[in-house]
A and B are shown apart, each in its own frame.
Chain A
Amino acid sequence: AQSVTQLDSQVPVFEEAPVELRCNYSSSVSVYLFWYVQYPNQGLQLLLKYLSGSTLVKGINGFEAEFNKSQTSFHLRKPSVHISDTAEYFCAVSDQYSSASKIIFGSGTRLSIRP
C-alpha cells in the first residue's frame, strides 16, 4: 500500500519569493507521482506528474518538481510566486502495477501569498 506525507499544512510566502512544498511517499513498488492544485471553491487540477524518465518534471504556471527515489520525495518548487498561486496543493501517488489506477492523496499544503 502507498501513502503520502505532506510535511507542511500551511506555507506563507511573500510575492515574488521562491517556494518549495515538500512531499514524501511510501511504497513497496514503483510509483507514479502527481501534484494537483485546488483553487478556492474549485475542483482539483493537475499541475504536473512524474511517470518515468527525467526526474525533473516541469508543469503549468511555472511549477516544477523533482523525483528523488533514494529520498522517496517529490518536492514542488517555483522560483517566484504570484498572488494567483494562492491555493491548496496536493501531492499524490499511484501504484505503477495496479490495474485500477487508484490515486492516494496527501493531506494538502495551503500556500498563502503575501503582497
Chain B
Amino acid sequence: EAGVAQSPRYKIIEKRQSVAFWCNPISGHATLYWYQQILGQGPKLLIQFQNNGVVDDSQLPKDRFSAERLKGVDSTLKIQPAKLEDSAVYLCASSPTRTSGGETQYFGPGTRLLVL
C-alpha cells in the first residue's frame, strides 16, 4: 500500500512570498491532518479534515494560512504571505476514520520550508 505522499520536499522562499504544499493521503483514508513542526518542537496540528469538511482549524493562522481538500482526497496548504517564523517542516498525515481518539495516524515525509 502506498504511503502518504507530499510535495515538494523542500522549498526556499523570501518573506512576503506565497507558497503551496500538496498532500495525497493513503487511499481510502477519510481523515487528513496538516501539522507544523518547528525545529526542536513536536508537531502542532494546523487543520483536520474529515472527507472534505473541516473538523478542527483552531490553530490555523487564518490571516495567512489556508487549506482545502477538494473531493475528499488530496489536499493543499497555502501560506500567503509567508513570514520568517513560518520556517518549519509541514507534515501531512491521514487516518482511516474519525471514530475515536485512539486511531493511528500515518505521516508523509514532510515539506521543509525555509523563509528568508
Q: Do A and B come from one complex?
A: yes
For the complex formed, measure the closest distance between the CB of B92 and the CB atoms of chain A, giving whole angstroms: 8
Q: How large is the interface on A (under 10, 10 to 19, 20 to 34, 35 or more residues)?
A: 20 to 34
Question: Given A42-B109, A102-B48, A102-B56, do A107 and B101 touch, yes or no (CB 8 Å)?
Answer: no
Number of interface residues of B (CB under 8 A): 25
Q: Which residue of A lies closest to B43 (CB)?
A: A105
**CB contact under 8 A between A106 and B42, given known A94-B102, A101-B103:** yes
Distance A43 CA – B92 CA, assembled complex (angstroms): 9
Known: A43-B4, A100-B48. A94 touches B101 (CB 8 A): yes
Inter-subunit contact B102/A43 (CB<8 Å): no
Pairwise interchain contact B44-A96, C-beta atoms closer than 8 A: no
User: Does any Cβ of B come within 8 Å of A98's Cβ?
Assistant: yes
Contact of B31 among A36, A49, A97, A101 (CB under 8 A): A101
Cβ–Cβ contact B109 & A43, under 8 A: yes
Residues B91 and A96 in contact, CB atoms below 8 Å apart:
no
Main secondary structure of the interface of B (DSSP, over half): loop
> How far, in angstroms, from A90 to B91 measured CA to CA in the complex?
14
For residue B50, which residue of chain A has the nearest CB? A100
B41 touches A108 (CB 8 A): yes
Q: Does B87 contact A (CB under 8 A)?
A: no
Q: How far is it, in angstroms, between the C-alpha of A90 and the C-alpha of B107 when the chains are bound?
A: 13
Complex formed: what's the CA distance from A4 to B48 in Å? 20
Instruction: Verify B110–A96 contact, CB threshold 8 A.
Output: no
Is B105 part of the contact surface with A, judged by Cβ < 8 Å?
yes
Instruction: For residue B53, give the distance in angstroms from its CB to the closest CB of chain A.
Output: 12
- Inter-chain contacts of A4 with B (CB < 8 A): 42
Closest to A30 in B: B101
Q: Tell me how far the C-beta of B40 lies from the nearest C-beta in chain A, rounded to whole angstroms.
A: 7
Q: Is B73 an interface residue (CB 8 A)?
A: no
- A101 engages B100 (CB within 8 Å): yes
Give A51's nearest chain B residue, CB to CB: B102
**5 closest A-B pairs by CB:** A105-B42, A43-B107, A94-B101, A32-B102, A44-B107
